[in-house]
Amino acid sequence: MKRAKTSLKTGLVTTIVICWLVPIVIVVTLMGVLLGRSYQQSAQREIRADMESAAELVQLRLQQAVDDSKQVSYDGVVRSAYREYLQDGYGISLFRAVNDYLSQRLSRDKKYQAVFITFWSDGIAQSYTLGGSAAGRGVTRLIQEHTPAILEEMRDADTKIRFFLLDGELYMARNLLDSSFTAYATVAMLLDPAQIFDPLAELDTPGGVEVALDSCTFLVEPGGILAEPEEQDGALTGVSYAVSVDGHDLSVTAQTEEYHLWRANPWMGWTVALAAGLVLPFLIAAIALFSRHVSVPMRALIQANVRVRSGERGYQIDQSPPNLEFGRLYVNFNEMSQELKNQFERSLLEQQASQQAQIKALQSQISPHFLNNTLEIINWEARMAGNDRVSAMIEALSTMLDAAMDRSNQSQILLRNELEYVDAYLYIIRERLGEGVHICKEIDEALLDRTIPRMILQPIVENAVEHDIAARNSGKLWVRAYSQEGRTVLEVEHEGVLTEADRQSIRELLSGAPAEGPQVGLRNVCQRLRLLYGEEAELRVEETAAGTILARIGLPPPGNLQHEEAAS
């Protein structure tokens, strides 16, 4: 398959654009990518440094909280108060001793919203002390709601510290053991995220900072607010930093925003737009000059060539050439066109003279009798060779030649003779188109000896075949002859559809207007019927309800021939 050729104008304009604009676009794009990547790497390094400093501060504060929880066990105050309670059973004394200890030890530390100890023995009340950022009854109610969940998790914790995130609140819990290393109480600290994680909250990162403290994961948002991390389609992108807090894993991840060079530097967009605005006038001027000096004269040459090819030989280009080169092309084209016209006229005269001589020679050598004799010899040769099919086709062709030549010069023939012409034509058609053509004949035998105009039915059949059946190489065709109130009715019906153009053409030919193409046969039949019978004969072509096309010829009863002598 040949590749379609592009025009010279398209090729040159494309070359200008590629050689002029594409390098500018490549350079600007490459600069944007490199600058964006460099800036993003620099931003990540800066965020990593800030995050490491903030994570170290958080590590220090969490370490202090861990040490405070250990000190509650090491001081022994709570353990001694619990032993006295086991001896005397005074719960109020235990509550006061523990509450006084926690108030003196931790109430002024702002890292805790509340510190409370819950004893595992049944019937012993809880002891609380509120930290420096106390929230009163709201914190107390919150602790009461979360205590069962904390104790359930701490049953098998031994002396290990565990972290819990419950309803956005972060707890650190540790079991207290007696001398037999049996847990008798749990100390829980409600941490204040605004005091512990404020270095992370101050980082300028989109979406907050994600913190993983052992198995407890949460987001630190601006203001020290903790939130559940959102599910990510993939791994969290950004920079990460991990440290250890007394054996506990602390991992901090900060998301980094993708850097958009054009969005971050609007001046670059204006610079590129200004450069394009300066380049564009030069590009337009180059295209305009090319169009004037190359495209327009080339179009004039192409149009002149098309007019010469369409038959307008000798056509001259009268436009003024824009440059010397095309001026020479115009002169050469005009001379060539004029010479072509002269040569064509000479060739036409010579050809006409030659054709006339050949026609006269053929007319003198070939006669209808000669043609029939020749076909008869070919027919005998086919019969002797056993080729019955070729023989039948030759006989059908001979019948068609007899009908066309009309050596007897008869204007009226029997219906049976007209049907022989039709049969000969249809035999040739079936041989040409194959088994897809189906012929149905419905002939009233009482009409076979009735006289009708010669070659009045065969042109109608030929028109039906060439109009639809030959185009599809298949179809049905009906030929009918019957009497209706003494009139002879001949019908040719075939499968097909009339377009609006066909209907218009049929209306014109039935009205006597000139016709061309396959409708010439219908026009000749219509004129002969009018000449022979006047208004007593009819020719109609119409579509039927069954989706076929029906051509009907109605002839007056025998003896009503008005113009037989004139026709003869």
- The 10s digit of each residue's pLDDT in 369-402 is 445 555 556 666 666 666 666 666 666 666 666 6
Select, from the ranges 27-41, 271-285, 482-496, the one with the highest average predicted confidence (pLDDT): 482-496
- Write out the two tokens for 5: 């050729």
Can you read off the two tokens belonging to residue 166?
């419950």
In the Cβ-directed half-sphere of 474, how many Cα atoms lie within 13 Å? 2
* Alpha helices (H) along 198-318: 198-201, 261-264, 266-290, 296-309
Residue 32: pLDDT band (50, 70, 90) is: low
Please name the residue ranges forming H helices in 467-556: 470-472, 500-510, 520-533
Q: So what's the pLDDT on residue 568? A: 40
Residue reference for tokens 């032993």: 83
Cβ-in-10-Å burial (0-12, 13-18, 19+) of 146 comes to middle
Q: Which residue has the higher pLDDT, 85 or 267?
A: 85
For 348, the token pair is: 């036409």
On whether the CB atoms of residues 269 and 262 are closer than 8 A, the answer is yes
> Can you give the pLDDT at residue 381?
60
Beta strand pairing call for 239-245 and 225-227: unpaired
Q: Could you tell me whether strands 412-414 and 216-221 are parallel, antiparallel, or unpaired per DSSP bridges?
A: unpaired
Q: How far is CA 495 from CA 77, 197, 474, in A?
A: 114, 91, 9
> Residue 516 has what pLDDT?
53
Helix pair 296-309, 324-365: axis angle to 10 deg: 10
* Torsion sign across C-alpha atoms 168, 169, 172, 175: negative
Token digits of residue 52: 């490491």
Query: What's the pLDDT tens digit per position in 142-190?
Result: 777 888 888 888 888 888 899 988 888 889 999 988 877 888 888 888 8
Buried b (16+ CB within 10 A) or exposed e, 479-488: bbbeeeeebb
**550-566 confidence digits (pLDDT tens):** 999 999 987 655 444 33
Q: pLDDT, tens digit, for every residue of 414-458?
A: 999 889 888 888 888 887 788 888 889 999 999 999 999 888 888
- Comparing 257 with 354, the larger pLDDT belongs to 257
Predicted model pTM? 0.43
pLDDT for residue 491: 94
- Poorest-pLDDT segment among 114-128, 217-231, 456-470: 114-128
Decide: 262 and 254 in contact? Cβ < 8 Å.
Answer: no
Residue 430, Cβ neighbours under 10 Å: how many? 15
Contact 116, 128 (CB under 8 A): yes
Question: What whole-number distance in Å separates Cα of residue 432 and Cα of residue 326?
Answer: 55
Asked if residue 63 has pLDDT above 80, the reply is yes
Q: Is the pLDDT of residue 99 over 70?
A: yes
> pLDDT exceeding 90 applies to what percent of the chain?
7
In the DSSP assignment, the letter for residue 237 is: P
The residue assigned the tokens 């109608």 is 460
* Arithmetic mean of pLDDT, 470-492: 90
User: Average pLDDT in the 60-64 region?
Assistant: 90
Give the chain's radius of gyration (CA, Å): 55
Q: What is the DSSP string of 103-157?
A: HHHHTT-TTEEEEEEEESSTTPPPEEEE-TT--THHHHHHHHHHHHHHHHHHTT-
CA 508 to the chain's CA centroid = 47
Return the percent helix, strand and coil in the chain, to nearest 5. Answer: 55, 20, 25
Average of per-residue pLDDT across 57-62: 89
Q: Provide the residue type at 3 as one letter.
A: R
pLDDT in tens, 207-250: 678 888 888 888 888 776 787 777 654 444 567 888 888 888 88
Query: What mean pLDDT comes out for the span 28-45?
Result: 69
Rounded average pLDDT over 77-84:
88
What gap in Å lies between CA 240 and CA 253, rounded to an integer? Answer: 4
Question: Could you tell me which residue, 44 or 374, shows the higher pLDDT?
Answer: 44
- Calculate the average pLDDT of the chain: 77
Angle at 228 between CA 227 and CA 233, to 5 degrees: 130
Residues 6 or more apart in contact with residue 488 via CB below 8 angstroms = 415, 447, 450, 452, 481, 554, 555, 557
DSSP string, 522-541: HHHHHHHHHHHHGGG-EEEE
Lowest mean pLDDT among 281-295, 371-385, 445-459, 479-493: 371-385
Task: Give the pLDDT band of residue 493 (cuts 50, 70, 90).
Answer: very high
CA distances from 180 to 57, 156, 239, 341 (A): 37, 16, 46, 127
Q: Are 167 and 225 in contact (CB under 8 A)?
A: no
* pLDDT given for residue 554 in this prediction: 92
Contacts (Cβ under 8 Å, ≥6 apart) of 85: 91, 93, 94, 124
Q: Residue 495 carries which DSSP code?
A: E
Asked whether the beta carbons of 276 and 228 are under 8 A apart, the reply is no
Confidence (pLDDT) at 534: 79
Which parts of 322-387 fold into alpha helices (H)?
A: 324-365, 368-384
